[in-house]
C-alpha cells in the first residue's frame, strides 16, 4: 500500500487483560500497521495489550490515561487535556474505541479532532436504549460487531439505524495456527500413548465457560473408554472454581487422566496436541478465538449453542453443537467424534472453512475498507 493511501488511526483500549476482546484488538492494530497505516493506541501500561506491543515497534503507544468507567466528567476533562497535544500532532483520520469506558472519551476526542468515531463491540449483550446510548450511537459513524450474535443484539428502539452496524468476524493468524504445528511435546508431558485420544478445552477458569460440565461429560465417557484423556488450559480467574474442579477429579479418581493447566504461552502447541477441542460455554462467546484457532489447525470442535459458536461451527461438517449445560448431550457428542475417520474429515473441513473465511488478513481488510468508506462519505 502506498503512503498516499495510508491512514492515521487512533485506538482507545480500556482493557487490562487479553481475553477475547484484548486478543481481537491486538490482532487488528497489528494488522493495520502491517498494511502500512500509522496506528496509535491509548492503553494501560500494566495491561497485556501494552506488554504485547511495546517491543514490536509497530504502533505508537500512549499511556497514563485513566479511561475510567462510568460518567466521570471530571476525569474525561483530565484525559482530554493530556491527550490534546498528541491528537493535535497526530491528526487522526479515524478514532476507534473498543469498550464502554473508552467510548465516551472517544466521542469527545472525535469532536476535538473532527474525526469519525468507530466502535467495536465484542459482547452479545444488548445496550439499554436510554438517551445517552442513543446519543453515542447517533454520533458513531459505524459499530463493528464481531459476530451476528453481537450485532443483532446491539441496540434497538428510537432512531435505530441497523445499517450502521457492520459484522466483521475476528480473524486468525494462519501463519501461527495451522495443521503443521507440532503438539507432540505437550502429549509427551501428559504421558499420552500413541492411540490415546485427548479432548481438551482452552478457556479461562470461570463459571461461564462451563468447565464443570465438560469434566462431568468427560468422566462419563472415560469410564467406558480407557483411551480417552482430558486437558483444560486457561487463566485462573476463579481460584475457587479451579480448586473445586481439582477436588472433583480426585473424588472421581480421574486426576491421572485429566490435567488442569494454567495459562500456556504457546496455545498453538496445546491445540495441536488435542484430538478434539471442546467449548462447553454457558454464555457470552460474542466471538471465540479458540474456536477459530482450533479450526485453523484442523481440529474438530464440540461446542455449545451460545453466542457466535453456531456461526463458526458447520454442524456435522466441522464439529457438533449441544445445548449449554447438557452433560448427556456433551457425552453423546464425544462418542460421535470418537472415530479417527470422523475427526479427520471434520478437521479438514474446519481448516478449509476457517482458512477461507476467518483469516486475520480478511478481517483487517474489511475494517480498512469500512474506514475508507466512512471517510469518503463524510459520515460521523
Q: Kindly report, residue by residue over 3-35, the tens digit of the pLDDT.
A: 448 999 999 999 876 567 888 899 999 999 999
What was the pLDDT predicted at 19? 65
Distance, CA of 365 to CA of 380 (rounded, Å): 21
C-alpha cell at 193: 500413548
pLDDT 10s per residue in the chain (380 long)? 444 489 999 999 998 765 678 888 999 999 999 999 999 999 999 888 898 999 998 999 999 999 988 778 888 899 999 999 999 999 999 999 998 889 989 999 999 999 999 999 988 888 877 788 888 888 999 999 999 999 988 876 656 678 899 999 999 999 999 999 999 999 999 999 999 999 999 999 999 999 999 999 999 999 999 999 999 999 999 999 999 999 999 999 999 999 999 988 899 999 999 999 999 999 989 889 999 999 999 999 999 999 999 999 999 999 999 999 999 999 999 999 999 999 999 999 999 999 999 999 999 999 999 999 999 987 44
Q: Please name the residue that has the C-alpha cell 463491540.
A: 121
Distance, CA of 359 to CA of 172 (rounded, Å): 5
* 208 φ, ψ (degrees, to nearest 5): -65, -20
The DSSP symbol for 95 reads E
Q: Please name the residue that has the C-alpha cell 491512514.
A: 7
* Alpha-carbon distances, residue 354 vs 18, 77, 123, 148, 317 (angstroms): 22, 44, 21, 17, 13
Q: Which own/partner contact pairs does 248-256 have at CB distance under 8 Å and 24+ positions apart? A: 248/212, 248/215, 249/215, 252/219, 254/215, 254/218, 254/219, 254/222, 254/230
Q: Please name the residue that has the C-alpha cell 457470552.
A: 284
Q: Please name the residue that has the C-alpha cell 461446542.
A: 303
* 183 φ, ψ (degrees, to nearest 5): -110, 15
User: In terms of Cα–Cα distance, which of 315, 21, 53, 42 is closest to 170?
Assistant: 21
Fold of domain 3-171+359-377: Rossmann fold (3.40.50)
The residues that bridge with 253 in the sheet, in sequence order, are none
Q: Enumerate the CATH 3.40.50.2000 domain ranges in the chain, comma separated.
A: 3-171+359-377, 184-357
Tens digit of each residue's pLDDT (9 = 90 or more) over 313-372: 999 999 999 999 999 999 999 999 999 999 999 999 999 999 999 999 999 999 999 999
C-alpha cell at 360: 486475520
Number of H helices, E strands in the chain: 15, 13
* Alpha-carbon distances, residue 246 vs 107, 230, 243, 252 (angstroms): 46, 13, 5, 10
Q: Are 117 and 95 in contact, with CB atoms under 8 Å apart? A: yes
Distance in Å from the first CA to the final CA of the chain: 25
What was the pLDDT predicted at 133? 83
User: In terms of Cα–Cα distance, which of 331, 303, 300 is closest to 219?
Assistant: 331
- Give the 3-state secondary structure of residue 367: helix
What was the pLDDT predicted at 270? 98
Fold of domain 184-357: Rossmann fold (3.40.50)
What was the pLDDT predicted at 4? 46
Amino acid at each position: 500500500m502506498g503512503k498516499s493511501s495510508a491512514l492515521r488511526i487512533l485506538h482507545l483500549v480500556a482493557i487490562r487483560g487479553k481475553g477475547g476482546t484484548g486478543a481481537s484488538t491486538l490482532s487488528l492494530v497489528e494488522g493495520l500497521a502491517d498494511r502500512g497505516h500509522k496506528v496509535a493506541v491509548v492503553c494501560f501500561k500494566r495491561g497485556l495489550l501494552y506488554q504485547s506491543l511495546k517491543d514490536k515497534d509497530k504502533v505508537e503507544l500512549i499511556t497514563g490515561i485513566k479511561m475510567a468507567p462510568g460518567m466521570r466528567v471530571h476525569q474525561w476533562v483530565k484525559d482530554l487535556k493530556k491527550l490534546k497535544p498528541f491528537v493535535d500532532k497526530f491528526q487522526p483520520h479515524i478514532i476507534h474505541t473498543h469498550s464502554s469506558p473508552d467510548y465516551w472519551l472517544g466521542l469527545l476526542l472525535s469532536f476535538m479532532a473532527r474525526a469519525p468515531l468507530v466502535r467495536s463491540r465484542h459482547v452479545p449483550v444488548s445496550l439499554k436504549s436510554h438517551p445517552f446510548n442513543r446519543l453515542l450511537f447517533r454520533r458513531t459513524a459505524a459499530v463493528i460487531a464481531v459476530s451476528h450474535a453481537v450485532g443483532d443484539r446491539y441496540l434497538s428502539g428510537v432512531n435505530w439505524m441497523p445499517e450502521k452496524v457492520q459484522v466483521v468476524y475476528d480473524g486468525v493468524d494462519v501463519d501461527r495456527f495451522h495443521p503443521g504445528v507440532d503438539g507432540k511435546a505437550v502429549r509427551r508431558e501428559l504421558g499420552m500413548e500413541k492411540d490415546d485420544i485427548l479432548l481438551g478445552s482452552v478457556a479461562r477458569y470461570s463459571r461461564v465457560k462451563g468447565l464443570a460440565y465438560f469434566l462431568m461429560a468427560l468422566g462419563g465417557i472415560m469410564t467406558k473408554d480407557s483411551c480417552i484423556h482430558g486437558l483444560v488450559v486457561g487463566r485462573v480467574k476463579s481460584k475457587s472454581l479451579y480448586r473445586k474442579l481439582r477436588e472433583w477429579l480426585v473424588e472421581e479418581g480421574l486426576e491421572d487422566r485429566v490435567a488442569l493447566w494454567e495459562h500456556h504461552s504457546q496455545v498453538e502447541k496445546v491445540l495441536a496436541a488435542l484430538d478434539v477441542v471442546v467449548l462447553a460455554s454457558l454464555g457470552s462467546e460474542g466471538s471465540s478465538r479458540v474456536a477459530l484457532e482450533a479450526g485453523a489447525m484442523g481440529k474438530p470442535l464440540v461446542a455449545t449453542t451460545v453466542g457466535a459458536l453456531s456461526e463458526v461451527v458447520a454442524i456435522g461438517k466441522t464439529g457438533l453443537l449441544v445445548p449449554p449445560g447438557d452433560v448427556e448431550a456433551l457425552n453423546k457428542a464425544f462418542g460421535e467424534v470418537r472415530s479417527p475417520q470422523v475427526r479427520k474429515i471434520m478437521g479438514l473441513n474446519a481448516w478449509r472453512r476457517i482458512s477461507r473465511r476467518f483469516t486475520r488478513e480478511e478481517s483487517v481488510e474489511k475494517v480498512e475498507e469500512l474506514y475508507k468508506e466512512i471517510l469518503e462519505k463524510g459520515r460521523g
